[in-house]
Amino acid sequence: MAEVVIVPDARAAGALVADAIARVIEVRPDTVLGLATGSTPLPVYEALRGRLAGTDLSLVRGFALDEYVGIDPAHPQSYRSVISREVVDPLGLDPARVHVPDGSPEGIEHAGADYEAAIEAAGGVDLQILGIGTDGHIGFNEPGSSFASVTRVKTLTEQTRRDNARFFASIDDVPMHCITQGLGTILRARHLVLLAFGEGKAAAVAAAVEGPLSASSPGSAIQLHPHATVVLDEAAATDLALADYYRYAYANKPAWQRL
């Protein structure tokens, strides 16, 4: 089962996860980070700015989880733009070392296989940051996604398009398709760190952490991973049956064990 850490707020979560990332980079300067978009990981990226100040990040590599298909890469809401704006530019990473799936329609039929090959050539992802959608998706693996899936094109659910409409002028501007790492791709990362904040995520979090393994609940794939950490605020933890145990286990965590 995943380790569940319940913290007071998103800021505390950001600091905790940024510290774990910084320690990985200290040991391995060419760490491969798995980068997520959406609003959830922003406190991590914010905290990393301070935590990594003065650290040589010239060798750090990154792979984003997903991208919209057909969006202009220069559009402020393309995931390429978001990753540049929130991660690459503020941290001063080498843009050539940070990859985002290619969502351009030309060549889309082999973009998934190309991305899988690039991840493999990099030696795999060391630490994968994840958010979770209100319908339980991770990356853009909507309900029904195979646990063995690899990077491929998916059709977004109406719910995801509605959720993401806040980033666009209207829901009609939210692309219909995306290219996303598969659940099988995500499960190959060496450490998964899933974050969720707010009551709106409570049901999806409970299904992912404690629900049955099911393609209908893509986040439940994390239960198959030997090193998964789930970092939540109190509101996102509301529906967890074992919340008291998670608090107790974390409070009594052996000092030598890290996140």
Q: Which is nearer to ligand GLP, 147 or 167 (CB)?
A: 167
Q: Is 45 in the site for ligand GLP (CB under 6 A)?
A: no
Q: Is 131 in the site for ligand GLP (CB under 6 A)?
A: yes
Q: What is the C-alpha to C-alpha distance for residues 195 and 13, in angstroms, rounded to an integer?
A: 8
Task: From the candidates 99, 137, 191, 225, give the one annotated as an active-site residue.
Answer: 137
Identify whether 66 is a catalytic site residue. yes
Task: State the minimum distance, in angstroms, from the CB of residue 78 to ligand GLP.
Answer: 12
- HSE of 130, CA atoms in CB hemisphere, 13 A: 34
Q: Is 132 in the site for ligand GLP (CB under 6 A)?
A: yes
Q: Is 43 in the site for ligand GLP (CB under 6 A)?
A: no
User: In terms of C-beta density within 10 A (0-12 exposed, 13-18 middle, 19 or more buried), how is residue 106 classed?
Assistant: exposed
Q: What is the C-alpha to C-alpha distance for residues 21 and 129, in angstroms, rounded to an integer?
A: 10
Identify whether 137 is a catalytic site residue. yes
Give the β-pairing of 66-68 and 177-180: antiparallel
Q: How many CB atoms lie under 10 A from the CB of residue 47?
A: 21
Q: Is 38 in the site for ligand GLP (CB under 6 A)?
A: yes
Tell me which residues in 86-105 interact with ligand GLP (CB under 6 A).
Answer: none
Identify whether 72 is a catalytic site residue. no
- Both tokens assigned to 20: 């774990």
List residues binding ligand GLP (CB under 6 A). 36-40, 65-66, 131-133, 139-140, 160, 164
